Structure 1
């Protein structure tokens, strides 16, 4: 407690991560997959390209054909490309013809980062990173104004070492991508070439980015404890 006898308030400017559930109709990708109710869809990330948004999404192979047909039939998509297949899932690259609406526009307005997303039928489970609790409250308020029902399942403050700035955003992206796709597993589930293709760079450029990122990660988390 402070001198006033009150417990100190948490630092509201600290980054927070929230796990939420939203209805599929809250954003275009969710509406597209309402037509494929049995498909399990995993949102890899949303990448800004040429002023638009290019989602990379995984779809279980059992529903691959039906999912692709639904994506191509949407007036909101300009192209749908199959990028890779890990045996159980297919990675699609999707480009939109329209500006983001609904949930995606609210994420942009609140400077939130969509870390993960999984959809089955009518609902989507999302993991979202916010700059602080005020940004999270702004997100919820805007969703309420837009009549988007948001179920907050979990919220937590991840611990980030102060000197993590030594790791660039591109290096962090390479490390996370390699981890998520089994590059560090034995045997490996993917290759540097495949990961490089996902980022639009060569396998050699990806390997260099990954090594530099891992070197910085060791320095910031293991050598200065």
Structure 2
């Protein structure tokens, strides 16, 4: 039986430790992680809050990253693409793939990675914990979902749920569309770009959760 696990990882050997400890007010919210044709790992992630100019410098100077590309530059956040460099001491992405785990949410702040991951079973979770111990990474378990009688976690944040509700109410999510994104943005008090991003994240989380359940069944 699969389990969804919320935990944190802490070690100076982990990726982005230098960048996120240099500018601790910034949160790195991972959008996607993929293996490239050269066998490396490419990450797309948002940098949110704090001094983004200082973080831009710190990210490019971080020895665990290379080929850093700024994709979007918004007033309160920036979207980056970067590759994990050969100087990275620990690369857990291949471990996720081998264990059959699915990353549902990944973010980093001040050197600590906070994650929500679906493991195919408790054996896979135990193996991942063993990997962390071998790599001298501090693993802190916060919560496990999936045991008999336990509730599944909500795939949406409160902000994402509110954005979806407004999108439905105003007709923005209708097919064909009968409402405007500006209505959702105005109600939330954010920019249209931020509203669109929040709706996309909510849709992605719901899709990932549904596909994970379908795979399990």
TM-score normalized by the length of structure 1: 0.61
The answer for the alignment partner of 1:59 in structure 2 is 47
Instruction: Tell me, in whole angstroms, the C-alpha distance in 1 between the residues paired with 2:61 and 2:112.
Output: 21
The answer for the alignment partner of 1:28 in structure 2 is 15
Q: Unaligned 5+ residue runs, structure 2?
A: 153-159, 168-183, 186-191
Instruction: Tell me, in whole angstroms, the C-alpha distance in 2 between the residues paired with 1:141 and 1:156.
Output: 20
Q: 2:86 aligns with which of 88, 93, 98?
A: 98
Shift of 1:133: 1.1
Instruction: Tell me, in whole angstroms, the C-alpha distance in 1 between the residues paired with 2:13 and 2:101.
Output: 16
**Per the alignment, do residues 34 and 21 of structure 1 end up closer, same or farther by CA in structure 2, a change over 3 Å counting?**
same
1:116 paired with 2:102, answer: no
Q: Tell me which stretches of 4 or more aligned residues in structure 1 moved more than 6 Å.
A: none
Worse overlay, 81-90 or 118-127: 81-90
1:148 paired with 2:137, answer: yes
Shift of 1:119: 2.1
TM-score normalized by the length of structure 2: 0.63
Q: 1:37 aligns with which of 10, 20, 24?
A: 24
SS at match of 2:56: helix
Instruction: Tell me, in whole angstroms, the C-alpha distance in 2 between the residues paired with 1:91 and 1:185.
Output: 25
Instruction: Tell me, in whole angstroms, the C-alpha distance in 1 between the residues paired with 2:10 and 2:123.
Output: 23
